[in-house]
DNA sequence: TAATTATGAATGAAAG
DNA sequence: CTTTCATTCATAATTA
């Protein structure tokens, strides 16, 4: 993790999860553009987008490759959780230093105690703006999407409309078929 | 050749956290059997079991491993919420898809198209029976639990349902305009 | 290509 | 009921 400032990781995810002929219906594999946008939004302070925001973001990101709203939802969920996790780990380390082991499940008291310099950066993003407005991003889209738009489509996936993913359609466990006759 | 066997996943849910080496009894880790029963009940229409029903269910499921009433309570609460959430998301995606296609008032769409399968599944579970009675369950338990009780410990296979791969895959990017005028 | 890591996905628990 | 948090599971990606 650690998306750094540049946000340019060589992930060889050239075309995302499409193409490649794989048609693998595995899990979502965000394109670098998608990750960048999501990261930007996160860094801008967005932590828990509303359903509506998720929809919009998802809709926009679909320009760069396949994506569903749930992907956006999970992305923020995970990103936030892992950042917090990291931060907490450092805290624990600090505590360990003092052999201090009180597990007080209150996290809001994070009144910036004695954080390591490393946490300095995190404290920055810690100032969350739950009700973040996204309009400041417009400029970005307006200026960037036009070119990326074509790069992203370079090779449109041919077969995507179908979704052969299993959908819990197998009630195996032969003998375990419950006789819920109460209906 | 032979793209690795898929379709089976082993959830370390084996011995579970119940009797025996209790060890880490953090949170309830349902056995496959327990999940199956709960799912069956849900699919049968049970959504918000009463305290009494929860008691009965919990009691019966205890044959397959440790379980408390609150686990059952939470399970239904979560399952219901997530099912709803999932449906909500898919519907939105559908809307987007429809918006894109923008059927020229062609009303004879009849029976959802591409995403019919999924919606169908959900429509099914949409038939709720809030006042479901559980007493007929006893017979089953009495006769089955003894043997299943043992089978449940070793053999664990679970196929999780996956979301549809993607809908808005083949959107016509050329006609879409970035309207990220969020909020 | 095996081992490790990063991260998408899921879910139990609980707060709101 | 809805939303959030934490932990865990699964697997694509990366590294050794």
Tens-place pLDDT, residues B42-53: 999 999 999 999
What rounded mean pLDDT belongs to chain A? Answer: 57
Pick the more confident residue, A155 or A19. Answer: A19
- With bands split at pLDDT 50, 70 and 90, how would you rate the model's confidence at B31? very high
Nearest CA to A38 out of A1, A84, A79 is that of A79
pLDDT of residue B12 exceeding 70: no
Nearest to A135 among B45, B166, B182 (CB): B182
- With bands split at pLDDT 50, 70 and 90, how would you rate the model's confidence at B169? very low
**Half-sphere exposure of residue B13: CA atoms within 13 angstroms, side-chain side:** 22
Nearest to A180 among B32, B40, B182 (CB): B40
Q: Pull the structure tokens for residue A3.
A: 């998306």
Measuring from the CA of residue A130 to each C1', which nucleotide is nearest? D4
Mean pLDDT of A166-176: 32
pLDDT of residue B74 exceeding 90: yes
pLDDT of residue B27 exceeding 50: yes
Q: Which residues touch strand C (CB under 7 A)?
A: A 1-3, 9, 27-30, 35, 70-71, 74-75, 77-79, 81-82; B 27-30, 35, 70-71, 74-75, 77-79, 81-82, 160-163
User: For residue B88, what pLDDT is reported?
Assistant: 83
Q: What percent of chain B shows pLDDT beyond 70?
A: 38
Distance from CA of B161 to the nearest CA of A (A): 5
Contact (Cβ atoms closer than 8 angstroms) between residue A175 and residue A39: no
- With bands split at pLDDT 50, 70 and 90, how would you rate the model's confidence at B93? confident
Measuring from the CA of residue A28 to each C1', which nucleotide is nearest? C8
- With bands split at pLDDT 50, 70 and 90, how would you rate the model's confidence at A97? low
Q: Which residues contact B139 (CB under 8 A, 6 or more apart)?
A: A179
User: For residue A57, what pLDDT is reported?
Assistant: 93
Contact (Cβ atoms closer than 8 angstroms) between residue A38 and residue A3: no
Q: CB count, 10 Å around CB of A180?
A: 18
pLDDT of residue B138 exceeding 50: no
Chain A CA closest to residue B136: A182
- Chain A residues whose CB is inside 8 A of the B170 CB are 156-157, 160-161
Q: Would you call A141 and B178 a contact, using CB atoms and an 8 Å cutoff?
A: yes
Contact (Cβ atoms closer than 8 angstroms) between residue A73 and residue A167: no
Q: CB count, 10 Å around CB of B43?
A: 15
- With bands split at pLDDT 50, 70 and 90, how would you rate the model's confidence at A96? low
Q: Kindly report, residue by residue over A127-164, the tens digit of the pLDDT.
A: 444 444 444 444 344 444 433 333 323 222 323 222 22
What is this structure's pTM? 0.63
In this predicted structure, which of A167-171, B82-86, B90-94, B119-123 has the lowest mean pLDDT? Answer: A167-171
Alpha carbon distance A18, A28 (integer Å): 10
Q: Would you call B160 and A153 a contact, using CB atoms and an 8 Å cutoff?
A: no
Measuring from the CA of residue B75 to each C1', which nucleotide is nearest? C12
Distance from CA of B47 to the nearest CA of A (A): 14
* Distance between the alpha carbon (CA) of B73 and the C1' atom of C8, Å: 28
Tell if A160 CB is < 7 Å from nucleic strand D.
no
Q: Kindly report, residue by residue over A48-82, the tens digit of the pLDDT.
A: 999 889 999 999 999 999 999 999 999 999 999 99
Nearest to A149 among B41, B161, B173 (CB): B173
pLDDT of residue A100 exceeding 80: no
What rounded mean pLDDT belongs to chain B? Answer: 60
Q: Pull the structure tokens for residue A123.
A: 């404290």
Tell if A110 CB is < 7 Å from nucleic strand D.
no
């Amino acid at each position: 993790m650690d998306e750094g400032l540049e946000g340019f990781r060589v992930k060889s995810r050239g075309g995302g999860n499409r193409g490649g002929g794989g048609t693998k219906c595995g899990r979502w594999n965000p394109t670098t553009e998608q990750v960048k946008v999501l990261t930007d939004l996160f860094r801008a302070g967005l932590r828990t987008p509303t359903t509506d925001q998720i929809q919009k973001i998802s809709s926009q990101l679909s320009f760069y490759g396949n994506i569903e709203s749930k992907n956006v939802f999970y992305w923020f969920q995970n990103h936030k959780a892992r950042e917090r996790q990291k931060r907490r780990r450092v805290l624990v380390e600090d505590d360990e230093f003092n052999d201090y082991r009180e597990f007080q499940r209150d996290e809001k008291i994070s009144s910036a105690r004695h954080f390591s310099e490393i946490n300095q950066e995190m404290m920055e993003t810690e100032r969350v703006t739950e009700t973040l407005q996204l309009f400041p991003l417009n400029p970005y889209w307006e200026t960037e999407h036009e070119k990326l738009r074509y790069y992203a489509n370079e090779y449109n996936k041919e077969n995507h409309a179908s979704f052969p993913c299993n959908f819990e359609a197998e009630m195996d466990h032969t003998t375990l078929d419950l006789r819920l006759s109460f209906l």
